[in-house]
Amino acid sequence: MLKKFGYLFIVLLVAVAVIYFFGKGDEGKRQEEEPAQNKGVSPETLVDTVFSESKKGKIPYAPFIAGQTEVEEVTKKWGEAEKTMQEENGSYAEYPDHKVTVGYHDQLIFDVRSFDSELQSIHMEDVKKEKGEPDEVRYYKDEATNQIILVYAVNDMYELKWVLPKPTDSEPNPKVHHVSVFTKPNNQEEDTEILSEMSLKEKIGQMILAGISETSLTSNTKDLVNNYHVGGIIFYANNLENPQQTVQLLNEMKAENAPNRLPLLLSVDQEGGKVSRLPGDLIDTPTNAKIGAINNAQFSYEIGTLLGKELNAFGFNLDFAPVLDVNSNPNNPIIGDRSFGNNADIVSELGIKTMEGIQSQNIVSVIKHFPGHGDTSVDSHLDLPRVNKSLEELKDLELIPFTRAINNGADVVMVAHILLPQLDATSPSSMSKNIITGILREQLGFNGVVMTDDMTMKAITNNYEIGKAAVESVKAGSDIIMVAHDYNKVVSAIDALQAAVETGEISEERINESVSRIIQLKQKYNLNREKAQDVNMEELNQYGENILNKYME
């Protein structure tokens, strides 16, 4: 009898263990999808996070972007929807396991709704207290539902909707039912209209990110902006003498660009640590290696937020950060403490949080250096590095952070100048169709903007003429060619691309693909020509000190 009870007891224990194991597995999967910074935070902070994410077409706990993600990507990630409904403005696919519903039209998602319990802890007055009265109040009622919808126009592209039960005398301050980020399904038509009005010269100009040598607006710079219509400018420390001069220079750039159709990308390397280009007595931020050693996702997110605030204050709108290279080679001459470490999981988690922190300040974040610069023994500024790894080896290490960042809303990927002979025996990654189109686009599913590292680095100029390199890179799949030094090299790259289209080497349809992505990026971040004001260094540094005091001994 005792033996019989013993067997029953063991069976019961096994059953409990199985239930616990699978339950834990689901919970673990759930936690991977949820931004760690939102767990256990106050309603006020969560409301602020929702608003920040909505400016990019995102909602917490859903890795999809309204106006950018195709429904095929959702199916690839989560499988077939449990239920699909047809409504007047499009189809809606329900994923109750993920507490998300997506609306789509012509395969493009225009509405992302989250029913997550964390968001459902927010009350109506929490939203109004943090963000004021909505731009519009709507109501919806049917046999089962009586709702109020608070609509906030967060930018030109997106509306944020807080959907709640309609207040009653017994419940005047209801909790959120779901949150929706919405963009008009016809945004692609607007992009097409802009594109159709652009000349070939304007289109090619948008595909160039140019560097300048001076600290003020010169005739060469004016020519790049007004005659060649370059899409953006990269600034280095030698361009930025002090806060006042930097703000003035960027404001002059915006004013000079005013007649052009699209605003400029105004970019800089502000990684933190030793790669910090902004002038003035800004507080020193820790290296990524130090952040990696602390290994706190919230710390990484707040450092990214600080970097975004700094760039906003000066008038920039794009940051070449974070570095997602896994520092697997300790003798690497170029990455070192710019990496979060040699563990791909840590690099992934902290890099994504830094990216999201930068994005939360409406700054474009560029993840770099694809497909991974951490195992090189040569500095690509000086020569062409060579990494003799197979695709499977890259997938086991270098590609992990990039894959995860892409799945979590990366907007721009910078491609490095590295020769990977097992993937492409002749062309470096920045000029390789196998790598850019075959791996980054097709295998990893990246639909955002692909940008090269600086084409004036010796990895390229020692081996290629700059115009030829620009043409080959666009043929390989790049959207933006960075020519960070030398006015004449910028012009050579533009002229070579123009000639390649005119001779049929590159089709204008191929140019249109890239320019369409660039237009969408600029619209998504609502880039504009508003002048920056004087930088409040004391306020920025106090914000930074509070972060460092919280996480560093």
Give the catalytic positions in this structure. 381, 453
CA–CA separation, 135 and 150 (whole Å): 8
* Cis before 371? omega within 30: yes
Chain centre distance of CA 142: 39
- Residue 142 phi/psi, 5° resolution? -140, -165
Collect all residues with Cβ–Cβ distance below 8 Å to 360 and sequence separation of at least 6.
Answer: 49, 52, 53, 304, 305, 308
Q: Pull the structure tokens for residue 282.
A: 């800004």
The amino acid present at 272, given as its one-letter code, is G
Could you tell me which residues come within 8 angstroms of residue 204 by beta carbon, excluding any fewer than 6 positions away? 494, 497, 498, 501, 511
Q: Which two tokens stand for residue 523?
A: 């619209």
132: left (phi over 0), alpha (psi -120 to 50) or beta: left
Q: What are the structure tokens assigned to 305, written together?
A: 């937020």
φ, ψ (nearest 5 deg) of residue 81:
-65, 145
Task: Please provide residue 109's backbone torsions phi and psi, each rounded to the nearest 5 degrees.
Answer: -75, 130
> What is the rounded (10 degree) CA torsion for 538, 542, 548, 553?
100
Q: Is the distance from CB of 451 to CB of 477 less than 8 angstroms?
A: no
CA–CA separation, 176 vs 348, rounded Å? 32
Distance CA 383, CA 266 (A): 28
What are the strands, taking DSSP E only, across 420-518? 449-452, 481-483
Tokens matching residue 214:
């001076």
